[in-house]
Amino acid sequence: MNILEDLKWRGAINQETDHDGLNELVNQKSVGIYVGIDPTGDSMHIGHLIPFMILKRFQLAGHHPVIVIGGGTGSIGDPSGKKSERVLQTMDQVRHNQDALTAQMEKLFGQDGKFEIVNNYDWLSKLSLLDFLRDYGKLFNVNTMLNKEIVASRLEVGISFTEFTYQILQSIDFLHLYRHNDVQIQLGGADQWGNITSGTDLIHRVEGQDAKVFGLTIPLLLKSDGTKFGKSEGGNVWLDPEKTSPYEFYQFWINQDDNDVIKYLKYFTFLSQDEIAELEKKVQTQPEKREAQRKLAEEVTEFVHGKEAVKQAEHITTALFSGNVADLTTAEIEQGFKNMPSVEVSSEPLNIVQWLVDATKIEKSRRQAREDITNGAIRINGERIEDVDYEINPANKFDGKFVIVRRGKKKYFLARVK
């Protein structure tokens, strides 16, 4: 099975400019293929990850990935589908974002094979206004540009000339990469179809109709309920571990619905068809074991954050489920309890009843606190406490930074020591 057949099986092909020509090309030789990303932020989220997972598949199939960080295009902004103009960033912010995205790409693509990261600022910034208009603007028909879906959707509310010309700049990128980096395929999301076809049209006008260049887009990924994939209850799921911890990242994937998990295994893992088919059977016959979800979480977390992050995420998950939080490290507490109820407490030792009522407000009254303690419903740092005279000393555990309280079977609280 070649790369295109595999992508079709995974449901990862939306549109192709020329299926037969593209199929012939990828079967003949190693080919250059590029995906671009504008530095509108300093981290990708999992929605951004989709085309780069496909690019990684091409890399593993022996092809040559080229990643374009849009330092030039990102400084002006592409027309979004949000019916409004993007807010222009300062060049200092653009450069900061470029560096952060480059580091993420190197982590994803730098482990098994040659790849390139380039910045379109390097060539776009050298174009004068007259060069742009004479050499490129003359080759684009305004009527055709207006009919591109992303532009047409903005005509009612208006679009600036700056964003209107974005498709020309992206087309110049494709031409530059064709000439200088041996790139013949551009890959992008479904919303990039208009920009991609503008690029293939430009190359054919400049280099001739026999130039072998192709465009390929990926479908918009939707959940089984019809909503857009990519966000959790807390918002975007980021690749930056400072924005979304590896534990939170792992939890996002392990909590996917049975109706979606096989689709995501096809998109986001490099498991074979046979392996995914076996997991699909288990979803149907033993859904309570959630083996497909666990495998999805392991594979994607390892790809983005590495094997140690998977071990840590699994350790935190097991500890929270079993209640054995005493085995967690201080760093693991930071990850696992990031979104749990928390309070600030003094570092001074205090009687447990006073601490639960006065210092943390975990218990509403001393009577209730004593009752819960004597009934064995209170655990401090994983240890069941049944003595109402017990003294809590925050310095005893987790480097003196945290005290973990569990009330009942599942109710956790985190006390952060001031």
Residues whose CB falls within 8 Å of the CB of residue 19, separated by 6 or more in sequence, listed in order:
4
34 is in an annotated binding site: yes
231 is in an annotated binding site: yes
271 near 265, Cβ under 8 Å?
Answer: yes
DSSP 80: P
Residue whose token pair is 């295109």: 4
Distance from C-alpha of 184 to C-alpha of 214, rounded to nearest angstrom: 6
Outline where 110-184 has alpha helix (H).
121-124, 129-131, 142-147, 149-152, 161-164, 166-180
DSSP 235: E
Outline where 208-257 has alpha helix (H).
246-254
166 is in an annotated binding site: yes
In this structure, the number of other CB atoms found within 10 A of the CB of residue 302 comes to: 18
Residue 64 has phi, psi (to 5 degrees) of: -110, 105
Class of residue 19 by CB neighbours under 10 A (exposed 0-12, middle 13-18, buried 19+): middle
Residues whose CB falls within 8 Å of the CB of residue 183, separated by 6 or more in sequence, listed in order:
32, 33, 34, 66, 174, 177
What string of DSSP letters covers 342-408?
Answer: EEEE-SS-EEHHHIIIIIS--SS-HHHHHHHHHTT-EEETTEE---TT-EE-GGGSGGGTEEEEEET
178 is in an annotated binding site: no
Q: Which residues are annotated as a binding site for L-tyrosine?
A: 34, 166, 170
Q: Which residues are annotated as a binding site?
A: 34, 166, 170, 231
Q: Which residues are annotated as a binding site for ATP?
A: 231
